[in-house]
Homo-oligomer: A and B are copies of this chain.
Amino acid sequence: MKTVAIIGIGLMGGSLGAALRRARPRWRVVGIGRKKKSLERARRAGLIDEAATDLAAGLRGADVVVVATPVSLIVPFVKKIRPHLGAKMLVMDVGSVKADIVRHCARLFSAKSGPAFVGAHPMTGSEKTGFEWARPDLYKNAACILTPVPGAPPAALIRARQFWRAAGSRVHEMSAAAHDQWLAAISHLPHLIAHALILSAAQKPGARQKVAALAAGSFRDATRVAGADPGQWNSILNMNSKNLREAARRFTQTMDKLMKQKFPISMLGRARALRAGLDR
């Protein structure tokens, strides 16, 4: 039997609780948050077993602690909980950007003894926020990237892998730096594009109505994630802005090349083959 404490019961934290309660009914899931009422509703919705508004009380007896707050609050929360952690606890986060977070958190932990920290990024979510949208299958078949620091205790990494597999995810491992480079290309850039695309299309007079009346699948698909939470994405994009700028530079260069070469069938065909590879 294992006790899991989740700090922040929103879409990510609430879904994680629901996934673990379903897959590991003997585990105990403690939800930690500020608002007693919301936590109680989350408990009644079956997302957590117990609710705690006091950090120290909520962490007591935990084997695994997951910080599932908005990305800008992860480092502050890890600092805050550090004095309350037992020697065998494993702490993880769910942040979409890793280098900054891992750098700040890793120095709070020793590689040799005491509690361990492993950065984690479960690549799932939705443009919705709040535990009302939580669902037990949010983590199912999602990639979860672990970003251990060099010299991290292997036992902690093994536990981290087991934990995310219990939630239903496919576990990958890479350095925090590599994570942030890949994520810039495959997640943060598509988000930036979605925002820029809908903002630029709406510039012309009367555009809002026209776009709503005429927008076809390609536009709807490409702008869907512009519905994501502005505050959270302001944090994510800024925390990874160097890699994002580099990915954006490569992207606009490719766009310019396509235009200059008159959209050669060979390049369009290569893009099509690459896209087909994603559905395999």
Interface residues of A (CB under 8 A from B): 123-124, 143, 145, 170, 172, 182, 185-187, 189-204, 208, 210-231, 233-234, 237-238, 241, 244-245, 247-248, 250-255, 258-259, 262-265, 267-272, 274-278, 280
Q: CB-nearest residue of chain B relative to A229? A: B272
Give CA–CA (A224, B143) in the complex, Å.
19
Contact of A224 among B170, B227, B275 (CB under 8 A): B275
A53: min CB distance to chain B, Å: 28
CB <8 Å contact, B197 and A230: no
CB <8 Å contact, B265 and A234: yes
**A263 partner residues in chain B, CB cutoff 8 A:** 192, 233-234, 237-238, 241
CB <8 Å contact, B208 and A274: yes
List the number of copies, as a whole number.
2
The residue among A143, A218, A233 with the most chain B CB atoms within 10 A of its own CB is A218
CB <8 Å contact, B222 and A222: yes
CB <8 Å contact, A272 and B216: no
- Chain A's interface: helix, strand, loop or mixed, by majority? helix
Contact of A278 among B203, B223, B251 (CB under 8 A): B223
**A200 partner residues in chain B, CB cutoff 8 A:** 185, 247, 250-251, 253-254
CB <8 Å contact, B213 and A193: no
CB <8 Å contact, A255 and B182: no
Knowing A226-B275, A250-B203, A275-B226, the reply to whether A267 touches B194 (Cβ < 8 A) is no
Knowing A248-B255, A269-B230, the reply to whether A278 touches B220 (Cβ < 8 A) is yes
A229: min CB distance to chain B, Å: 8
CB <8 Å contact, A259 and B248: yes
CB <8 Å contact, A258 and B186: no
Provide a sorted-by-A list of 26 A–B residue pairs whose CB atoms are within 8 angstroms.
A185-B201, A186-B201, A186-B216, A192-B255, A192-B263, A193-B222, A195-B258, A198-B274, A199-B267, A199-B270, A200-B251, A208-B274, A208-B277, A215-B278, A218-B225, A220-B278, A221-B221, A223-B275, A226-B272, A227-B276, A229-B272, A233-B268, A234-B263, A234-B268, A248-B259, A252-B252
A51: min CB distance to chain B, Å: 30
